[in-house]
Structure formats: C-alpha cells, structure tokens
Chain A
Amino acid sequence: MVFTDEQLAIKSQQGDKQAFEELIRRYQKPVFTICCRYLGNSQDALDAAQETFIRLYNKLALFDGNNTFRPWLYKITVNIAKDLIKKRKPWEELDFSIKSDLGDPQANIELTQVQEEISKALLKLPEKYRMAVILRHIKELEYQEIANVLNLPLNTVKTHVRRGRDMLRIQLKEVEL
C-alpha cells in the first residue's frame, strides 16, 4: 500500500518512525538539490537539508491534513537555505566547486559542459532571482505555488523568474557554448 505524502505526515505526527523515514526518503533528493543549487556548496547543502528535516519534524504538529505537503516542506527548505546564506561571510559567497564535489562522491555524476556552465551561471544570479528560477525551472513549480513558498506576491515572483532567466541566457551567451 502506498501512502500519500499527507498521509505519511499525519502518521509521523502520531509518532510513526517509519512513516517519517519514508518522507525523508521521498524528499531528500529534491530538498538537497534545491539547497545545492542555491548555496553552491554541497557541505552547506547537506547541513541545510538536515536542518530542514529536523525542523519539519518539530513542526509536524502544525501540519493539518488539508494542506499539501510538498510546498509546505519547500517553504521550510527555502527559509533555512536563506538563513544560511545570510550568515555567510562575504568572502565565501561564491564557490564554484559545485561541479566536482556535488552529492555523493561514489555516484559522481558527470556533468556535461552545458550543465556545468548553467550551474555556475545560476550561482552568479542575485539570490532572490536564483531561488525563483530554481523553483520554477528546476523543480518546475507553478507560479502560484512559488508565491506561497516564497511568501511573495505572484507578480513579484514572475518578475524574479523572468529577470533571472534573462540574466542566465545572457551569461550563457557570453561563454559561447
């Protein structure tokens, strides 16, 4: 029997350890991916992902079955990732090592040159545009969902996504792929 995310969340609320583990299993990759693409450093992304699920656990009591689980989880993820980037010192803001040390070294994913350029260009975007583009075009959320996750008006989100992807296009043009 396969449970929905929401059912698993309710079960975890009632202290079902396995249900919670299943939720982590389902969402560890997307959460980690969002953090990696936003923070540009897999160690920070691991910290952020870990904190996300711990905060999720502590907030489970607030989850009511009528909400959708995914945007709720992403909201926590985004807040933690943003806090982490705020606490950073200026000299460590840009770390382009993302191509080589991302993720599990055993499953070392070979990035094509295009993908490498895109992940670099993404890290050069202003943070608010970066997160909007990640949610829109990497996680493929609807604008309304992103507005809920980021707690911003719909039009602001659209502007951020449009400006962000325009900057990406120009940057990629410059590297002449």
Chain B
Amino acid sequence: MNECMNIYELIQKELDGELTPEEMELLDKHCSHCFTCQEIRQDFYQTIYGLRNLPELEPGEQLIETIMNTIYSKSPAQKSIPSKSFTGIVAGLVLFCSSGIFLLGSVLISLIAGGLLYLGYENSSLGFIENIVYWLTYGYNLLSVFKNVFNNPYSSLFLVTVLLLSMVSFAILIMLLYSRRIINYENV
C-alpha cells in the first residue's frame, strides 16, 4: 500500500518528464505486477493526451476588426456608445411599463380568483353554470371593495408604492439577467 503511494508520486513525476532512469525502472517494475497503479498510470496518460489534443478555438474574423477599430479609430466606437445606452433606456422603459401591467393584472386576477374559490365552497349546492355566474358577480363585487381601498389616501399611497417598487425591481432583474447573458435576446 505504502509502495503504491510512492509509485503515485513517480507517475506524477513521469508526466512532467522528471523521472531518473532508476525511478523509471522502479515504476515499470511495479506496474507490471500491480494492476491498480498500472490503471492509474494509463488513465493519466489518457487525460493528458486528451487535454493536449483539444482543438484550438477560432474566435472569428470580427475579433480583429473590433479590436483594430477600437484602438485606431476612436470616433466610430464612441458613436456607438450613446446609441447603446439609448436602446438601454428604451428597453428599460418598455420593461417598466409592461411589468406594471403584468403585476396589476396578476393582482386583479388573484383577487377575483381568490373570491371565486372561496365562494365555490359556500355555494356547492348550486348547479355548475349557476355557480360560475354567482362567482363572477362575487368577483365583480370584490372589485368594488378594492375600489374603496383607493378612497383612503394612505392605503392607496401604500399600494402605489408597492406596485412601483415591484415594477422597478422586475425591470432591474430582467435587465441584469440580460446584461449577464442569462437571457440572450440575440439568440432567440
């Protein structure tokens, strides 16, 4: 066992071409009768061989162009920056508005759905269609309750703040994901 640990060191040294002839002889001799070390040695060979033969990767012609343009003709590169930030602002606004609509919509839907589900229990004696009609009226009534909330200046202020905050964080989240390429619109 202890010998095998020394042999492991020798295998590692062999991979770096640092073995003396005596050590090489020792290694060969051990591996001829120890299957475990022989296998480890073989696996190491394969790993190194695989690494060495990984293909060199091609970045594409546009890399040189971009670099040369950035370095030697500063003006076109600078022109593209405002346009980029402009699209950023527009995208941000669109996201802000759409997330607002989305959040408002989901609040309303959950409110109505909540009411409907609750009433489904209460009126189980009703027939199926009657039930649906009943639920819908109840949902409508619930909406008018919701309207009353807005008559109170404090609660409406609170609601608007919560809505705005979630809109902003939603927009920021999407922008963040996009900028870190978690979402890649160009590939879609």
Interface residues of A in 3-49 (CB under 8 A from B): 17, 20-21, 24-25, 28-30, 32-33, 36-37, 41-46, 49
B15 touches A165 (CB 8 A): yes
Interface secondary structure of B, over-half rule: helix
Question: How far is B48's CA from A133's CA once the two chains are assembled, in angstroms?
Answer: 10
The prevalent SS among residues of A at the interface is: helix
User: What are the 10 tightest A-B residue pairs by CB atom distance, in nearest-first order?
Assistant: A32-B59, A137-B51, A104-B60, A103-B57, A103-B58, A118-B50, A104-B58, A33-B57, A169-B47, A53-B67
Contacts of A114 in B (CB 8 A): 46, 50
Shortest CB distance B154–A (Å):
38
- Cβ-based interface call for A140 (8 A): yes
Across-interface contacts of A86 in B (CB, < 8 A): none
In the assembled complex, B53 has its CB within 8 A of some CB on chain A: yes
Instruction: Using CB atoms and an 8 Å cutoff, list the residues of chain A in contact with chain B.
Output: 17, 20-21, 24-25, 28-30, 32-33, 36-37, 41-46, 49-50, 53-54, 57, 88-89, 91-92, 102-104, 107, 109, 111, 114-115, 118-119, 122, 133, 137-138, 140, 143, 158, 162, 165-166, 168-169, 172-173, 177
Q: Write out the residue numbers on chain A whose beta carbons fall within 8 Å of the beta carbon of B50.
A: 114-115, 118, 172
Stretch of B27-35, B68-76, B131-139 lying at the A interface: B68-76
A28 touching B59, Cβ below 8 Å: yes
Compute how far the CA of A89 lies from the CA of B182 in the bound complex, rounded to whole angstroms: 10
Q: Is the CB of B51 within 8 A of A138?
A: yes
| B44 on the A face (CB < 8 A) | yes
Other than the given A29-B57, A137-B48, 19 more pairs (CB < 8 A) read: A24-B63, A32-B59, A33-B57, A36-B57, A43-B184, A57-B71, A92-B181, A92-B182, A104-B59, A104-B60, A109-B57, A115-B54, A118-B51, A118-B54, A138-B52, A140-B52, A165-B15, A165-B44, A173-B43
Q: Does B144 contact A (CB under 8 A)?
A: no
| Nearest-neighbor residue (CB-CB) of A52 within chain B | B67
In contact, B57 and A169 (Cβ under 8 angstroms): no
A172 touches B16 (CB 8 A): no
Whether a CB of chain A sits under 8 angstroms from the CB of B56 is yes
Question: Looking across the interface, which residue of chain B has its beta carbon closest to that of A17?
Answer: B72
Distance in angstroms between the alpha carbons of A88 and B111 in the assembled complex? 39
B57-98 contact mask (Cβ, 8 Å, vs A): 1 or 0: 111100110111011100000000000000000000000000
Interface pairs (8), CB distance under 8 Å? A24-B68, A28-B64, A50-B66, A89-B180, A92-B182, A118-B51, A122-B51, A165-B51
